Amino acid sequence: NSIGSAATNSAGGGFTEQRQYGYLTQLQVGNQNKRFLQVGVRVDRNSSFGAQAPSFVLPKVGGSWAISEEDFFSPLSGIFNDLRVRAAWGTTGRSPNPGDALQTLTAAAFNITGSTGAGAVLGNPGNFDLKPERGTEFEAGLDAGFLNGKVSTELTFFRKTTTDLIIARPIPPSLGFNSNPLANIGSVLNRGVELAVNAKMINRRNLTWDVRGAANTLHNELTSLGGVLPFNLGAGGRTLVGQQLAVLSAKRVKSVDLTRGVAIVTDTLAPVGNLFPTLEWNITNTFTIMRSLRVTALLDAKRDFSIYNNTAFFRETQLVRSNVRLDTTLLSREQRIRRFGPFVSEVNGSAVTINDAREAFIERGDFVRLRELSATYDLPRFLLDKLGKRVQGASLTLALQNVKLWSDYSGADPEMNSQTGAFSRQDFLTLPNPRTSILR
């Protein structure tokens, strides 16, 4: 028995080593159980940074005030049973993965004098000056309770500025490396409002109705590229100052010349649709009937975002096996030219490929979904007694998930994403979320 006679006689392995040091100190003080102040600082150092990167300091400060505990608040106690305001400011840091700052080589086979030998090619040039991505955030809000606890709400405003973004920066292919190095590029602004409400709509002996709702807005904007020219990011995204980070882009159709049978498009990539929803909300209703039957329904939605329908693009422009492409009666002549071209530049009339002019395949993904509908029945005491004295409780649940979807997206599901990257929202031959039923 020898290794050489085995079906598989080669193996490989690898490991990564990372060292991270952190120091954290925090102080919290309170006054009369009404006013609270918290200050802290964290110092980090990580071996994943470039050799030239120093330790980074992350301070924070926050406070809250229980206004409803103050004597002057008593005239409003009939409306507010609890009211607290809060604010916080702090900084965050994000580290790259182990080895991201290092120059790497990739194993490759070479033909040397008629025989194959082991060798290496350039992998990633690395970046010895790679620094942590830093964020500075301020948030303020209030927590309130109304009507003797029947209604409670949380309202928060946040604003976060992130600088020295850790992003893969494109480099010229002529340098010989097969992947792009990470670099600290530009800054991003995120701001929005978060709202959560809990309400007990009905509270009777044999019927209760509880409602929980939540919503949040998001304004995401790339505010600077630090002098770097715009580049592609993610699946169909691009870094354009003043737009969302990795906004879905294409050369957009300006007009259609039916006489020549061409679509005239912009000379440069322009924003088409947001990668991140600007509004998300959800609402949960729970009914309890006769204290033994609970019915719950969860409805949620996302608005103002887009998805690159690469499935339709592939079927209509590569395989050409789609009814939209083959059946000429489904679209008007102008619609077909807008979708399939030919495309020419508005500047010099030169031909533009459909890979650049794919605006028609970047679709709005807005949706409302009945995500879950369930009913739970708690078995009555007389049935539990028949099961034995040791049985303290039992229930039967029927749950339906992904019950109903309302959306104008032409694909199967606007929440599908065929890639796992942070800057990707692409549907490419991906199975949709299944509709499931669970009985337990």
**pLDDT tens digit sequence for 119-172:** 888 888 988 888 888 999 999 999 999 888 899 999 999 999 999 998 888 888
Q: What is the pLDDT of residues 182-231, one digit of tens each?
A: 889 899 999 999 999 999 999 999 999 999 999 999 999 999 998 889 99
Distance CA 155, CA 97 (A): 35
Is the preceding peptide bond at 342 cis, omega within 30 degrees of 0?
yes
Model confidence, pTM = 0.85
The whole-number pLDDT of residue 4 equals 64
**C-alpha pair distances (Å), 370 with each of 199, 297, 335, 367:** 20, 7, 33, 10
Measured between alpha carbons, how far is residue 242 from residues 237, 251, 271, 364, 414 in Å?
A: 14, 18, 10, 20, 25
- As a whole number of angstroms, the distance between CA 407 and CA 309 comes to 14
Q: In this model, does residue 415 exceed pLDDT 90?
A: yes
Mean pLDDT, rounded, of the chain: 90
d(CA 226, CA 298): 44
How many beta carbons lie within 10 A of that of residue 240, not counting itself?
20
Q: Is 305 exposed, middle or buried (0-12, 13-18, 19+ CB in 10 A)?
A: buried
> Which of 239, 180, 237 lies closest to 419, judged by CA?
237
Mean pLDDT computed over 48-61: 82
Q: Where are the beta strands (DSSP E) in 71-206?
A: 80-94, 105-112, 115-122, 133-146, 151-168, 182-203
The per-residue pLDDT for 36 is 96
Mean pLDDT, rounded, for 6-17: 71
Contact yes or no for 133/184 (Cβ under 8 A): yes
Query: Roughly how many angstroms between the first and final C-alpha of the chain, as a whole number?
Result: 53
Report the Cα 146 to chain-centroid distance in Å: 34
Task: State the Cα–Cα distance between residues 69 and 77, nearest whole angstrom.
Answer: 10
| Least confident among 9-23, 72-86, 233-247 | 9-23
Q: How far, in Å, CA of 400 to CA of 242, rounded? A: 42
pLDDT average, residue stretch 366-375: 97
| CA nearest to 234, candidates 216, 223, 252, 222 | 222
Q: What is the pLDDT of residue 209?
A: 96
Looking at residues 277-294, what average pLDDT do you find? 96
Helix (H) / strand (E) containing 384: helix 381-387
Question: Side chain identity at 135, as an amino acid letter?
Answer: G
- The pLDDT score that the predictor gives to residue 79 is 83
Q: Does pLDDT of 383 surpass 90?
A: no
Confidence of residue 75 (pLDDT cuts 50, 70, 90): confident
Length of the chain: 440
Task: Please give the pLDDT value at position 74.
Answer: 85
How far apart (Å, rounded) are the C-alpha atoms in residues 260 and 307? 31
Domain regions of the chain by residue span: 57-100+129-439
Whole-number Cα distances in Å, 284 to 154, 198, 202, 374: 16, 10, 15, 11
Radius of gyration of the chain (CA): 29
Give the C-alpha separation, 59 to 40, whole Å: 6
Tens digit of each residue's pLDDT (9 = 90 or more) over 249-262? 999 999 999 999 99
Q: Where are the alpha helices (DSSP H) in 250-380?
A: 310-314, 323-326, 333-340
For residue 345, the model assigns a pLDDT of 96
- Residue 59 tokens, joined: 């301070």
Long-range (24+ apart) CB contacts under 8 A made by 427-431 are 427/307, 427/308, 427/309, 427/310, 427/311, 428/310, 428/311, 428/314, 429/311, 429/314, 430/311
- pLDDT confidence tier of residue 9, bands split at 50, 70 and 90: low
DSSP states of 1-68: --GGGSS------------EEEEEEEEEEEETTTEEEEEEEEEEEETTS-TT---EEEEEEEEEEEGG
Is 400:376 a contact under the CB 8 Å cutoff?
A: no
Q: CB burial class (10 A; 0-12, 13-18, 19+) of residue 10?
A: exposed
Sheet of 362-364: strand order equals 362-364, 306-309, 426-427
pLDDT exceeding 90 applies to what percent of the chain?
A: 60
Rounded alpha-carbon distances, angstroms, from residue 327 to 332, 334, 379: 11, 15, 57
